[in-house]
Amino acid sequence: MEDQLQLDRKMTRRSFLRMMGGLGLAGLTVSLAGCGASSLAGHAGGEGWLPQQYQVPGTWPAQVRGRVPVEPDNPSIVRDDEKCVLCGQCLEVCKNTQTVFGHYGLPLVDEIVCINCGQCALWCPTAAITERDDTERVWQALQDPGRHVVVQTAPATRVALGEEFGLAPGTWVAGQQVAALKRLGFNAVFDTTFTADLTIMEEATELIKRIKGDLNKPLPQFTSCSPGWVKFCEYFYPELLPHMSSCKSPQQMLGALAKTYYAKKKNINPEKIFSVAVMPCTAKKFEARRPEMNGSGKYWGNKSLRDVDAVLTTRELARMLKQKSINLSKLPEENYDQLLGKSTGGAIIFGATGGVMEAAVRTAYYFITEKEPPANLLTLTPVRGLAGVKEAAVDVPGAGTLKVAVCHGMGNGRQVLEAVRRGNAPWHFIEFMSCPGGCISGGGQPRSAVPPSDEVRLKRIESLYKADARMAWRESHENSEVLALYRDFLKHPMSELAEELLHTGYTDRGKSFKQLKAVEKAKSVV
Amino acid sequence: MSKGVLVDVTRCVGCGSCVVACKMWNDLKYTKEIPAIGKDARLAAENWTVVNKVEVKKGRKSAWRFVKQQCLHCEEPACASACFSRAIQKTGSGPVVYDAKLCVGCRYCMLACPFNIPKYEWDKTFPRVRKCQMCAGRVEKGETPACVGVCPAGALTYGEREDLIRQAREKINGNSGYIKHIYGEKEAGGTSWLYISDVPFEVLGFRTNVTTRPLPGYSESILRLTPAVGLGWGAVLTGLYVYNRRRNEIAREEKGNNKANKRK
């Protein structure tokens, strides 16, 4: 009792406040004097006992390399400097996989050599490099009641979009994707695979004309549906451009048809149509902006009309869906709109390396022999898989052996191109895809593995081939809507109208940079 | 031996790796208002190095050149000589370094610099002068400055200044494309950072009318008279004082004599 009283007396309010004040003062003195804080802010972990690489300011990563140049007005990619950690991944892929950076001479002329493939965006671990965001323009068009907004989706987005919504790599979400686009308010949802079939019709016809000598253009013929590859060839091998098929890419073909064929059939003013493309690709953004890509404009005599008004990557579409709280995985499956919405198995495999070639071989066989291709041509194993350069020889009765090659990733492309340049290329037809694995691993695809892994690539590819095997119609010339298009509008492959809307020319970009000297080139070529 | 960096303007592709490395190593912030890369890039308190994009004419064609800017680290820095509190000093290995603890904020260094490099933290309560330190800590350990180590295009070479000058001379003499001038070899009495280019330096935004005489020499030529002036002026004043005093003394004496004579 006595003790308790004493204690109470000791702890008066005044003495308590005095004690707290004293402690506070002591604390202030200590912190002002600099005790407690590490006095050498620049050094982590004290003096000299840690390896040297850690004795650096906090934001300095253990390994720093460098990065690729990205111009602020690049139509495909943008970079946020604040996120860059100089890890060097973009350099790695641009220089060694795509053989672009370091493969042009210096000093610069007046552009930064870039094939817009966007692989750097796919490899960037901090997402400092991303696609140029075009969602705002699409939102505006969707909200404009005077606009008729049409959208097309590439073959490769339907095996990757699900990954943004927690589904396993390669999950098939074609139907859900259509449903999601309808819910975003698009007036019509078309399938780029429709024009992939159309591309095969045109490209196979062109190939046969080249082989028969009806067309004064050299062999081998190069595919032209990968805009990154096209720009690569324009930069580094402009003298081989006559080999390039004059066919536009499926995206641009559909854009041109949406504002001509579709507009006419549905009686819509083409100037009211806003044409969007959902692509696995950042180079498509560049392609849509190429000045010559206004076939519909030329058709209607209105030069300002663009075939494709906006290109969204798979990632941008996922963002738009998330902004509207649309959960892709919970949606029912819906069908593409008619007229430009039907496809065959041959078109679906466009998204995988070797797919274009396989589809082309099926139809070319039919065109030459007028017979259905044998079963082994419906599973052309030699051009499937992730080998860098693949070759196949197909016996076509009455025409001999058709020799084809397939490559993906521009480092592999260079090897094939060097062979063509030297004149020892035995092939008739070569498929080039800018991105390793083909469109399924394009620069606009979900970052499901950073850097992209073959495991994810193979799952997406497998999904495409499975879909092809499921299809009733697997050859492009069997697409009833394509046949209707020829019957009602274009007449026949490579007709005058087809040339105007579906074919294009190329630009020599060889003077955009200083060519490397022979010595430097020998070092740079793989 | 003094270290330096050789910048080959023809090799720069404008990726800005050096800028990012500088920001990371020195913990500098990014500001939207003052970009560090591109056409509008300029040095600032948080931009110790910038990469400027310059569109020039090569013959009849247009061409892009990218110019890295930062402190040139003069051999005899005017900023250091202007600094009376010794906050700026040239180290033996090359970097011109700044110690905020000694700085009184007079900003004489900013006026003295012929290249307009030092910047001031105008928006801070206790502002510091800010500029490239050439990563003095790294250089001291035998490493390259942060920016040099990350350049993927080979535009930056680090080494002994004399070796770099030799290399630069070989390059510009071996290739007719280069301007026959090494910027920084003589400017302001020589700088640790050196530039070679295929476009005239004034077109790239370099100040080319800089004297080749070390700038501290100018003030030194006058300031070295300080003792003489001080002593001389002191002597004059002392003389005048002595003279006046003597004169007054004589005057007083004469006055006293006159009074005495009158009394007589």
Query: What is the average per-residue pLDDT within B23-27?
Result: 90
pLDDT in tens, B168-213: 999 999 988 899 999 999 999 999 999 999 999 999 999 999 888 8
How does pLDDT run across B62-96, given as a tens digit for each residue?
999 999 999 999 999 999 999 988 899 998 889 99
- Give the integer Cα–Cα distance in Å for A381 and A387: 12
- pLDDT category of residue A15 using cuts at 50, 70 and 90: confident
| Mean pLDDT score across all residues of chain B | 91
Query: Mean pLDDT over all residues of chain A?
Result: 89
List pLDDT tens digits, range A128-160.
999 999 999 999 999 999 999 999 999 999 999
A395-418 pLDDT, tens per residue?
A: 988 888 999 999 999 999 999 999
pLDDT digits (tens, 9 = 90+) for A199-208: 999 999 999 9
* Chain B contacts in chain A segment 47-76 (CB below 8 A): 52, 56-61, 64-72
Instruction: Give the A window 93-112 contacts with B, CB below 8 Å.
Output: 101-102, 106-112
pLDDT at residue A432, rounded to an integer: 96
B207 and B246 in a single domain? The answer is no
A231-260 pLDDT, tens per residue? 999 999 999 999 999 999 999 999 999 999
Clarify whether A202 is annotated catalytic: no
Residue B162 maps to which CATH number?
3.30.70.20
The tens digit of pLDDT for each residue in B121-157 reads 999 999 999 999 999 888 888 889 999 999 999 999 9
Q: Over 90: is that where the pLDDT of A437 sits?
A: yes
Q: Are residues B214 and B251 in the same domain?
A: no
Same domain? For B136 and B253 the reply is: no
Check CB contact of B263 with chain A, cutoff 8 Å: no
In the stretch 176-215 of chain B, residues with CB closer than 8 A to chain A read: 177, 198
Confidence of residue A47 (pLDDT cuts 50, 70, 90): very low
Question: Which residue among A206, A316, A358, A475 is the active-site one?
Answer: A206
**Model confidence at A124: pLDDT above 90:** yes
Note the pLDDT of residue A4: 63
The answer to whether B36 contacts chain A (CB < 8 Å) is yes
Compute the nearest-CA separation of B214 from chain A (Å). 33
Whether A64 contacts A89, CB under 8 Å: no
- Structural domains of chain B, count: 2
Residues B15 and B134 in one domain: yes
* Shortest Cα–Cα distance, B109 to chain A (Å): 25
Widest Cα–Cα separation across chain A:
120
* Least confident segment among A376-380, A390-394, A501-505, B244-248: A376-380
In chain B, the residue whose alpha carbon lies closest to the alpha carbon of A512 is: B63
Domains of chain A: which residue ranges?
Answer: 135-504
Q: What was the ipTM of the complex prediction?
A: 0.83
**HEC states along chain B?**
CCEEEEEEHHHCCCCCHHHHHHHHHHCCCCCCCCCCEECCCCCECCECCEEEEEEEEECCEEEEEEEEECCCCECCCHHHHHCCCCCEEECCCCCEEECCCCCCCCCHHHHHCCCCCCEECCCCCCCCEECCCCCHHHHHCCCCCHHHHHCCCCCEEEEEHHHHHHHHHHHHHHCCCCCCCCECCCHHHCECEEEECCCCCCCCCCCCCCCCCCHHHHHHHHHCCHHHHHHHHHHHHHHHHHHHHHHHHHHHHHHHHHHHHHHC
pLDDT tens digits along A458-486: 999 999 999 999 998 999 999 999 999 99
| A292 belongs to the catalytic site | yes
Angle, helix A314-323 to helix A135-143, in steps of 10 degrees: 50
Residues B173 and B236 in one domain: no
Is B54 within 8 Å of chain A by CB? no
Distance from CA of B232 to the nearest CA of A (A): 48
Q: Are residues B133 and B15 in the same domain?
A: yes
* B141: chain A residues, CB-CB within 8 Å: 52
Is A284 tagged catalytic? yes
Residue A131 among the catalytic residues: no
Asked if residue B137 and residue B82 are part of one domain, the reply reads yes
Partner residue opposite A66 with nearest CB, options B10, B30, B151: B151
Show residues of chain A in contact with B27, CB under 8 Å. 57-59
- A287 noted as active-site residue: yes
Chain B residue whose CA is closest to A42: B26
pLDDT at A43: 39
Residues B210 and B256 in one domain: no
Residue to mutate among A80, A110, A111, A516, with most B CBs inside 10 A, is A110
Nearest to A64 among B9, B13, B150 (CB): B150
Please give the residue range of the domain that contains residue B64: 3-220
Residue in A161, A122, A171, A119 with CA at minimum distance from that of residue A459: A171
pLDDT digits (tens, 9 = 90+) for A72-104: 999 999 999 999 999 999 999 999 999 999 999
On whether any CB of chain B is under 8 Å from the CB of A362, the answer is no
Q: Are B128 and B41 members of one domain?
A: yes
Q: Rounded CA gap, A179 and A337, in Å?
A: 11
pLDDT of A524 above 60: no
Q: Which of A346-350, B5-9, B173-177, B213-217 has the lowest mean pLDDT?
A: B213-217
Q: Which top CATH class is A135-504?
A: alpha beta
Interchain proximity A110–B55, CB inside 8 Å: yes
Q: Does B57 reach chain A within 8 Å, measured CB to CB?
A: no
Q: What is the least distance, in Å, from the CA of B11 to any CA of chain A?
A: 6
pLDDT interval class at A56 (50, 70, 90):
low
Asked if residue B240 and residue B158 are part of one domain, the reply reads: no
Interface mutation target, options A43, A56, A84, chain B, most CBs of B under 10 Å: A84
Smallest CA-to-CA distance from A433 within A27, A208, A117, A37 is with: A117
- Note whether B114 and B233 are same-domain residues: no
| pLDDT tens-digit readout, B202-258 | 999 999 998 888 888 888 888 788 888 889 999 999 999 999 999 999 999 888 888
Q: Which residues of A touch B13 (CB under 8 A)?
A: 69, 106, 108, 112
A514 and A106 Cβ atoms separated by less than 8 Å = yes
